[in-house]
Amino acid sequence: MTQTLTSNQQLAENCQALVSKYGLNNRIALIQLPQFMMGSFNVSVARQKGYYVFPPAGLMYLSESIKHRGLDVRIIDVNLLLLKKAQDQEVTAAFFLDILKEELDAFNPSVVGASCMYDTGIQSLMLTLEFLQKENKRIVITGGMIPSFEYQRFLKQELCHFVIRGEGENKLNMLLDFLHTNESKNPHLKDIFFKHNDKVLESQGEHDHKSFVDTDMIGSYKLINLRDYQQAGSLNPFSRMAGLKDKLFMTIQRNRGCRAHCSFCAVREFMGPTVRTRPLNLVLKEMEYLITKEGVSHFEWLDDDLLYDKDELKGMLREIIARGWKITWSAYNGLIVAFIDEELLDLLERSGCIGFKLGIESGNAEMLKKIRKPGTLDIYRKVAKWYPKYPKIFVGGNFMLGFPNEKFRQMLDTLRLYIDLRLDWASFLIVQKIRGASAFEEFKDYFTSQIESKGAITKNFIPTRGTTDGKINDEEHIRKGPDVFNIPPEAECSEDQIKEIWFAFNLVGNFIFHKNLMPGGTPKKFISWIEVAQIGYPINPYMQIFLALAYTLEGNTAKGQEIYLLAKEVVAKDVYWQERFHSFHLDSLLEDFPTTKEGVYKALAIVQKPFEQYSPIKEKVMEEAEWKSRWEK
């Protein structure tokens, strides 16, 4: 049990003891850890800029909030530094620790803060904390999602001296006040945890959810070099679509928190119940600085609920349009469908939006209620009618598979809904048990074993991203390939079975029945997405074969043939892919690859035949033909 203090006397004593032990210079290092799963790191993906390289937004906010103290603050982004090294050296994921050690030795800060935002970062966080514990020469603070929920374990194991829960700006200031002056003249705050006489204690004061709103971030850009980010990786497929070679990208945030409280999400628990919005003038000022002084031309929104205060958002989009900035932007964090309207879509398109994701999650009405998703099937269908009118925007959906007690028939509803909504892509994600989310309150043992295994049991939410070769485990006793469609409707499936379902749904929904490969579809859009998405999966032959079909549909037969031959070569060498191709009848494409548009439709019809019951799509795509002609103009 954590004990809440009646005064912050013990915090002061703790700070004093640490300062006497380690000394206190004016240097503080904030560490951003790898954004890839350690076990699946692949140098060739890094060289293709296929890994996430998100600039350290959280740490930049922290540094901005403490800048008045006159400290020497350095952000050590080991994710970036490792990916940079991987461009011309054979490095392993574990090399990030050597980089960190070198950076810390050179800078020699007496205070170090490490950030960890999600489960896939647990392994690198724990390695880092163990390294700092062994080094035993600095005051160690950790924060972000995982430490916020795991403070007991981390402090009991003395992996760090302080854990800051939730947003960090004001709490870090309070802690630095105590370290430097043994007191804080600012209002005292809860949510700083530390170990004192073998007990885990929490600071005393108010809860703070006031950070952020008036932060001007511009000063923090001197701590990072945006060109380095552009050269080492990408934000997500949207930033790759915007152009990797010459475009600088940056993330930006308007809101913190979310109106909804979906049962599988921890944002509300972490950010508090309110949504806070930064004033328009600050957001626009930051964008203007980034565009005119740093040369940024693509933005990605970090907001949990970008559509909050829609009128103000519309005002901001109008202002972006009026300023005539030559920018693109995207929102990979799913938007809440229920708040989309036609005027908004028009403003999104005109202000430079190239793509967004929607938080759809399930195609089953009872499951949507159960997970408290703010959306219904009717709303999804109503809004989906508008997207084709804005064909420049790439509309993807997030769909989740494997909710607690989810039945196979409910998962099938999700596949059917995706095909029915005729979106440009579905990201099928396997549900992850997340700390702080109400749906996973009963999974405490899982979280314990995750920390005890030092993150080793963490799974990726996209199965093929959890392995270095992009293949999924070939377990016995589970239905594979199209046989997954024979799973009894009422069955609840094992984790390995869900991976196979994921494989089949992704192949059937995103490839075999992709609306843009059908008569009246827009193959160009399919090409633009797959070209960038496959950077993360360099040897996936079904991505290649469908890409080859799309090029053929576009009339680029030579390119189609070239990619088809690559796919054929990969499959010829690999029994795993031979089996996969055979089971989904894709080998008919390998044997007799079409060279004309009509040939592609015919060849696809053969592959589609066994799965036709999932697709009411053909007629709908025809309706879109008129919007397509508008885009092509």
Residue/partner pairs of 220-224 with CB below 8 Å, 24 or more apart = 220/60, 220/61, 220/63, 220/64, 220/67, 221/60, 221/289, 221/290, 221/294, 223/60, 223/63, 223/73, 223/74, 223/75, 224/55, 224/56, 224/60, 224/75, 224/77
Residues 339-368 that bind ligand SF4 (CB under 6 A): 359
Minimum distance of ligand SF4 from residue 313's CB (angstroms):
16
SS3 state of residue 94? helix
The smaller minimum CB distance to ligand SF4, of residues 261 and 392, is found at: 261
Q: Give 256's strand partners.
A: 276
359 contributes a contact to ligand B12 by CB under 6 A: no
238 contributes a contact to ligand B12 by CB under 6 A: no
Order of strands across the sheet that contains 192-196? 3-4, 199-202, 192-196, 162-164, 139-143, 111-115, 27-32, 72-77
35 contributes a contact to ligand B12 by CB under 6 A: yes
Quick one: which H or E segment has residue 353? strand 353-361
Minimum distance of ligand SF4 from residue 375's CB (angstroms):
9
Minimum distance of ligand SF4 from residue 358's CB (angstroms):
10
Residues 31 and 112 sit within 8 Å (Cβ to Cβ): yes
The smaller minimum CB distance to ligand B12, of residues 200 and 586, is found at: 200
Residues 604-623 that bind ligand SF4 (CB under 6 A): none
260 binds, among ligand B12, ligand SF4, none (CB under 5 to 8 A by kind): ligand SF4
Minimum distance of ligand B12 from residue 55's CB (angstroms):
8
DSSP assignment of 399-462: EEE--TT-BHHHHHHHHHHHHHHT-SEEEEEE----TT-GGGTT-HHHHHHHHHTTTTT---SS
DSSP assignment of 273-298: SS-EE--HHHHHHHHHHHHHTS-EEE
117 contributes a contact to ligand B12 by CB under 6 A: yes
Among residues 122, 291, 302, 621, the one that binds ligand B12 under rule CB under 6 A: 302
371 contributes a contact to ligand B12 by CB under 6 A: no
Tell me phi and psi for residue 77, to 5 degrees.
Answer: -95, 90
Among residues 167, 191, 202, 304, the one that binds ligand SF4 under rule CB under 6 A: 304
Minimum distance of ligand SF4 from residue 236's CB (angstroms):
16
Q: Give 237's strand partners.
A: none
Minimum distance of ligand B12 from residue 558's CB (angstroms):
36
Q: For residues 544 and 349, what is the distance between their CA atoms, to the nearest angstrom?
A: 30
Residues 232-271 that bind ligand SF4 (CB under 6 A): 258, 260-262, 265, 267-268
535 contributes a contact to ligand SF4 by CB under 6 A: no
The smaller minimum CB distance to ligand SF4, of residues 109 and 334, is found at: 334
168 contributes a contact to ligand B12 by CB under 6 A: yes
> Which sign, positive or negative, has the C-alpha torsion 572, 574, 580, 582?
positive
Interacting span for ligand B12 (CB under 6 A) from 135-143, 380-388, 584-592, 612-620: 135-143
DSSP 574: -
The smaller minimum CB distance to ligand B12, of residues 376 and 432, is found at: 432
| Helices 122-135, 96-107: inter-axial angle, 10-degree rounding | 40
253 contributes a contact to ligand B12 by CB under 6 A: yes
Minimum distance of ligand B12 from residue 270's CB (angstroms):
7
3-state secondary structure 231-278: HHCECCHHHHHHCCCCCEEEEECCEECCCCCCCCCCHHHHHCCCCEEC
> Which sign, positive or negative, has the C-alpha torsion 157, 5, 170, 309?
positive
434 binds, among ligand B12, ligand SF4, none (CB under 5 to 8 A by kind): ligand B12
Interacting span for ligand B12 (CB under 6 A) from 138-146, 410-418, 439-447, 579-587: 138-146
71 contributes a contact to ligand B12 by CB under 6 A: no
The smaller minimum CB distance to ligand SF4, of residues 124 and 333, is found at: 333
Interacting span for ligand B12 (CB under 6 A) from 5-13, 57-65, 488-496, 522-530: 57-65
113 binds, among ligand SF4, ligand B12, none (CB under 5 to 8 A by kind): ligand B12
Site string for ligand B12, 327-346 (x = CB under 6 A): ------x-------------
Q: For residues 532 and 50, what is the distance between their CA atoms, to the nearest angstrom?
A: 9
Q: For residues 508 and 456, what is the distance between their CA atoms, to the nearest angstrom?
A: 31
Residues that bind ligand SF4 in the complex, under the rule CB under 6 A:
258, 260-262, 265, 267-268, 304-305, 334, 336, 359
Residues that bind ligand B12 in the complex, under the rule CB under 6 A:
35-37, 52, 54, 57-58, 61-62, 113-115, 117-120, 141-145, 164, 167-169, 172, 211, 253, 265-267, 302, 304, 333, 429, 434-436, 460-461
